[in-house]
């Protein structure tokens, strides 16, 4: 079925059907749903070349992918991408990954915008005053930041979770259970999410007259092996922590292994709370001791970023709106009162 046949079947003009399929704001929602339902039911998919000629849009979302020996593509990124892809696939959008040298991503952003390869881009893992955000803000292309880049002198659209509040709540719970020596196994402390998590813990401890010792903070790439090594380092020192907050369920696998190898137990010797990005293949309740977590789905975040990008492409969303999701604290068997 082509566009003309679809329009005839719906008794609408080809222009109206085309605008409904491409998300133009002047098409009312009832007509848009009617057109989308009919297109799906009859297997209609717009010709990409024709759509670009008619609308000036490529139907593509772009992501500049840092590459090189020092770059790890971790499961958190893959899970986010899965959520973004789920939404994009069901809304006739494609995702374009453009590889770039990790130290020169700006050249790639300039190229894909100048060549009109994509209709919008998203930026992930931002750092304070991130140069990528500042650049894309000047290039005149719709964009969303997954996370926040503080220290910028302009506003921009973003989606983030309340990392600070999540780890503040986790630390507050551990303090209420009597723990006085807490540790944090964090992600890359150059990235904003990790900065916020450490700040949240420090605030919770300070409110109780305590402090997070610098020697009890580890910032590492979020892998199981790094979680293992960080835990060994923490627990083999004098004045070892009695509770650990961990920035990733994947790192928590290493934490549990290290605690066991040292002949200790969870939660008898060490209480543990980790952040759960809701991986379908790694469930905190299936750990040897069900794991307490701060929980927010990174896959749903990916889908929401795609949804907002689609809205910005079509003109349904404008401005520099920030969106911060609350984070659930789920208490399971991995936390208990501090050992005597």
- DSSP, residue by residue, 202-244: HHHHHHTT----GGGEEE--S-HHHHHHHHHHHHTSTT--SEE
| pLDDT number for residue 55 | 52
Structural domain boundaries in the chain: 3-55, 60-161+299-325, 163-297
| pLDDT number for residue 53 | 45
**CATH fold of the domain at 163-297:** Rossmann fold (3.40.50)
Determine if the pTM surpasses 0.85: no
Q: What is the homologous superfamily of the domain 3-55 according to CATH?
A: lambda repressor-like DNA-binding domains (1.10.260.40)
Class of residue 181 by CB neighbours under 10 A (exposed 0-12, middle 13-18, buried 19+): middle
Q: Which CATH number fits domain 60-161+299-325: 3.40.50.300, 1.10.10.410, 3.40.50.2300, 3.40.630.10?
A: 3.40.50.2300
CB atoms within 10 A of CB 138: 8
Domains 3-55 and 163-297 share a fold: no
Whether residue 180 contacts residue 210, with contact meaning beta carbons closer than 8 Å, is answered with yes
Give per-10-residue mean pLDDT for the chain (340 aa). 82 84 76 85 65 63 84 84 91 89 92 91 94 94 94 91 98 98 96 97 97 97 96 96 97 98 97 96 96 97 95 89 96 95
Q: How many angstroms separate the CA atoms of 67 and 104, rounded?
A: 10
Class of residue 291 by CB neighbours under 10 A (exposed 0-12, middle 13-18, buried 19+): buried
């Amino acid at each position: 079925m082509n566009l003309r046949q679809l329009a005839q079947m719906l008794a609408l003009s080809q222009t109206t059907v085309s605008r409904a399929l491409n998300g133009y704001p002047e098409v009312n929602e009832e007509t848009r749903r009617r057109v989308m339902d009919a297109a799906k039911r009859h297997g209609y998919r717009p010709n990409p070349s024709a759509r670009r000629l008619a609308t000036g849009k490529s139907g593509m979302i772009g992501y500049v992918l840092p590459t090189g020996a020092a770059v790890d593509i971790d499961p958190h990124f893959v899970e986010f991408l899965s959520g973004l892809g789920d939404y994009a696939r069901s809304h006739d959008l494609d995702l374009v990954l453009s590889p770039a040298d990790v130290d020169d991503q700006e050249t790639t952003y300039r190229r894909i915008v100048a060549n009109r390869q994509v209709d919008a881009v998203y930026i992930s893992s931002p750092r304070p005053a991130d140069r990528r955000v500042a650049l894309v803000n000047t290039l005149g292309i719709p964009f969303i930041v997954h996370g926040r880049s503080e220290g910028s002198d302009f506003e921009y659209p973003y989606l983030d979770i309340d990392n600070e509040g999540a780890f503040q709540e986790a630390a507050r719970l551990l303090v209420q259970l009597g723990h006085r020596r807490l540790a944090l196994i964090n992600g890359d402390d150059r990235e904003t999410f990790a900065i916020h998590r450490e700040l949240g813990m420090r605030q919770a401890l300070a409110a109780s007259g305590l402090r997070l010792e610098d020697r009890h903070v580890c910032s590492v790439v979020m892998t199981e092996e790094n979680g293992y090594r960080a835990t060994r380092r923490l627990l083999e020192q004098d004045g070892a922590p009695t509770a650990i907050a961990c920035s990733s369920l994947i790192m928590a696998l290493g934490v549990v292994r290290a605690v066991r190898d040292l002949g200790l137990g969870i939660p008898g010797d060490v209480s543990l709370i980790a952040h759960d990005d809701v991986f379908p293949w790694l469930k905190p309740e299936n750990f040897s001791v069900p794991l307490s977590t701060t929980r927010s789905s990174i896959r749903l975040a990916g889908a929401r970023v795609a949804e907002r990008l689609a809205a910005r492409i079509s003109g349904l969303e404008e401005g520099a709106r920030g969106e911060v999701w609350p984070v659930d604290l789920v208490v399971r068997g991995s936390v208990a009162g501090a050992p005597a």
